[in-house]
């Protein structure tokens, strides 16, 4: 009985242990079941996220691949709108969202800008240009540039040949010019030396002749003085004859010495004729005295007292300035070539000319220099300018107004013809005569106010040694 009871307790214990173990196993199994369910859901979510990212990355890479293939002209799609959607996604940046490596290989903004700049999206499933077309264009452009460069090289080679030929020609011409220049310089130097020597010889000869003439002149003056003395002694016995002789002598000396202040100022005894060759006198004024060609002078003889005679014997005009104080002239007029010829030592004068400053005049009236009824104002003005004479004022016959002004520095008012000497047709045309007369009176009043002497045109020209032609009869 006791063995049976122990066996029953053992079974219960075993059953109880087995129950406990089974309960633990079920509890553990149940717990593990619930715990695995939570991990699975997490994995499902992760897998979905990865799938989304993989799809975005795939679309991103696919869009890039489509853009590259379209650019290469190798994109083949049944529906062009698929590329349009992909390109739009690249442009607006939607495809790059969620792409894991979007910035590792390429910057989408730079990619889009470069492709758009080089190929140009056509808005209809592709680009306006492809890589092949751009290569062909570049090859065409490259060939064009190469052809142009080749043509330019050939042109440059041709031009270089021309330049080389011209350079050789220039060098030859330069060598020839240098040789001729050297010879010309030598010839000029020789000629200059010859001219200098000739001038020195001429100046020496002129000085010798001048000195000889001055000696002769002094001797003549002494002889003339002695002659008068002898004559006076010879007629001492006759009081009447002596009186007449004295009066004649006094009149002769007075006439020779007669001069106005203006004439005394104008005639300088140091301006002379040094020598004469044919019709060409040589005067002692030259470049250092500001002498110019066409300058004119009066020619004065010298009296027994050594003073220049007031009344000129002739006129001359400078034709060549030879040296600092030497010029060649030509005789334009001689009053009495037989009784009073032009001689070496004669004095020359021109009151309107000064070597070192301008003389100043005013002009009024109808400037008829040649007596032919024409107004020669322009020619007169040019002639005065050659004489170093400045025209301070003149009556403009176009509107009869006075241009410039007569001042205290003006030395002469030169009057031309007035209305009374003009032809009636000219004088009465549009009141020409009255206007001319009024203008001349205005300038004469200004001259009187400023103490300026008035001189007629022909007298003025005669005073400066300008040969005045004889008036031409015009039937006026």
**DSSP per residue, 37-65:** HHHHHHHHHHHHHHHHHHHHHHHHHHHHH
| Structural domain contains residue 53 | yes
Confidence band, pLDDT 50/70/90 cuts, at residue 256: very low
* The last residue of a domain, from among 98, 129, 160: 129
| Structural domain contains residue 140 | no
pLDDT for the residue 446: 93
Q: What is the pLDDT of residues 338-373, one digit of tens each?
A: 999 999 999 999 887 888 778 889 999 998 888 787
> 431 and 342: one domain?
no
What is the number of domains present in the chain?
3
pLDDT for the residue 476: 40
Q: Please tell me the distance from the alpha carbon of residue 73 to that of residue 122, in angstroms, as a whole number.
A: 13
Residue 443: other Cβ atoms inside 10 A: 23
> 272 and 339: one domain?
yes
Paired strand residues for 19:
none
> 373 and 421: one domain?
yes
| Structural domain contains residue 289 | yes
Q: What is the mean pLDDT of residues 269-280?
A: 92
Phi then psi for 38, rounded to 5 degrees?
-65, -40
> 124 and 28: one domain?
yes
Q: Which of 432, 413, 436 minimizes the C-alpha distance to 424?
A: 432
> 232 and 323: one domain?
yes
Q: What's the pTM value of the predicted model, to 2 decimals?
A: 0.39
* The last residue of a domain, from among 61, 95, 129: 129
Q: Which of 129, 180, 467, 443 minimizes the C-alpha distance to 295?
A: 467
The strand ranges marked E within 324-457 are: 326-334, 347-349, 359-364, 389-396, 401-404, 412-415, 454-456
> 342 and 394: one domain?
no
pLDDT for the residue 325: 92
Domain with residue 453: its CATH number is: 3.40.50
> 366 and 445: one domain?
yes
The answer to whether residues 323 and 287 touch, using CB atoms and an 8 Å cutoff, is yes
| Structural domain contains residue 469 | no
| Structural domain contains residue 142 | no
Mean pLDDT for the chain overall:
79
Start-end of H helices in 73-99: 81-92
Q: What is the pLDDT of residues 23-55, one digit of tens each?
A: 787 777 777 666 666 667 787 887 887 777 777
Per-residue tokens: 49? 């996220």
| Structural domain contains residue 152 | no
- The residues near 149 (Cβ < 8 Å, ≥ 6 apart) are none
Domain with residue 324: its CATH number is: 2.40.10.410
Q: Which of 356, 349, 360 minimizes the C-alpha distance to 315?
A: 349
> 313 and 418: one domain?
no
| Structural domain contains residue 39 | yes
Q: What is the mean pLDDT of residues 448-470?
A: 82
> 301 and 368: one domain?
no
The domain of 380 spans 359-463
Paired strand residues for 417:
366
| Structural domain contains residue 368 | yes
Question: For residue 403, is pLDDT > 90?
Answer: yes
- The residues near 278 (Cβ < 8 Å, ≥ 6 apart) are none
The answer to whether residues 344 and 275 touch, using CB atoms and an 8 Å cutoff, is yes
pLDDT for the residue 171: 92
* The last residue of a domain, from among 129, 162, 180: 129
> 364 and 342: one domain?
no
Q: What is the pLDDT of residues 309-321, one digit of tens each?
A: 988 999 999 999 9
Confidence band, pLDDT 50/70/90 cuts, at residue 331: very high
> 369 and 456: one domain?
yes
> 330 and 397: one domain?
no
pLDDT for the residue 370: 80
Per-residue tokens: 281? 């006198």
- DSSP 3-state assignment of 102? coil
H or E element that contains 275: strand 267-277
């Amino acid at each position: 009985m006791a063995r049976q009871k122990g066996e029953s307790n053992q079974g219960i214990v075993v059953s109880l242990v087995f129950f406990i173990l089974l309960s633990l196993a079920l509890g553990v199994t149940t717990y593990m079941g619930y715990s695995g369910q939570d991990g699975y859901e997490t994995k499902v979510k992760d897998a979905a996220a990865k799938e989304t990212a993989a799809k975005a990355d795939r679309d991103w890479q696919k869009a890039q691949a489509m853009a590259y293939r379209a650019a290469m002209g190798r994109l083949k799609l049944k529906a062009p709108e698929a590329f349009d959607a992909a390109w739009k996604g690249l442009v607006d940046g939607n495809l790059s969202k969620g792409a894991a490596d979007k910035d590792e290989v390429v910057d989408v903004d730079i990619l889009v800008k470069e492709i758009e700049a080089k190929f140009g999206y056509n808005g209809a499933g592709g680009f306006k240009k492809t890589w092949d077309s751009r290569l062909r264009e570049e090859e065409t452009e490259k060939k064009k540039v190469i052809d142009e460069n080749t043509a330019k090289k050939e042109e440059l080679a041709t031009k270089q040949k021309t330049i080389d030929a011209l350079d050789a020609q220039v060098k030859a011409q330069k060598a020839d010019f240098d040789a001729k220049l050297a010879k010309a310089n030598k010839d000029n130097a020789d000629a200059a030396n010859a001219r200098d020597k000739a001038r020195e010889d001429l100046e020496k000869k002129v000085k010798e002749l001048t000195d000889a003439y001055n000696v002769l002149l002094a001797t003549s003056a002494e002889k003339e003085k002695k002659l008068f003395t002898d004559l006076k002694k010879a007629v001492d016995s006759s009081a009447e004859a002596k009186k007449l002789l004295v009066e004649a002598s006094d009149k002769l000396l007075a006439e020779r010495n007669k001069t106005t202040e203006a004439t005394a100022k104008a005639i300088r005894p140091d301006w002379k004729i040094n020598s004469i060759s044919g019709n060409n006198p040589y005067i002692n004024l030259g470049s250092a005295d500001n002498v110019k060609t066409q300058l004119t002078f009066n020619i004065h003889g010298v009296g027994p007292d050594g003073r220049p005679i007031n009344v000129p014997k002739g006129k001359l005009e400078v034709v060549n300035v030879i040296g600092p104080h030497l010029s060649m002239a030509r005789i334009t007029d001689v009053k009495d070539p037989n009784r009073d010829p032009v001689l070496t030592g004669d004095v020359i004068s021109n009151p309107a000319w000064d070597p070192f400053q301008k003389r100043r005049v005013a002009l009024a009236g109808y400037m008829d220099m040649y007596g032919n009824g024409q107004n020669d104002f322009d020619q007169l003005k040019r002639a005065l300018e050659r004489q170093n004479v400045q025209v301070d004022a003149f009556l403009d016959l176009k509107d009869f107004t006075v241009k410039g002004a007569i001042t205290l520095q003006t030395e002469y008012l030169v009057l031309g013809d007035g209305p009374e000497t003009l032809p009636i047709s000219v004088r009465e045309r549009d009141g020409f005569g009255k206007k001319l007369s009024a203008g001349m009176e205005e300038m004469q009043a200004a001259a009187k106010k400023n103490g300026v002497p008035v001189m007629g045109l022909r007298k003025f020209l005669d005073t400066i040694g300008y040969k005045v032609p004889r008036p031409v009869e015009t039937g006026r």
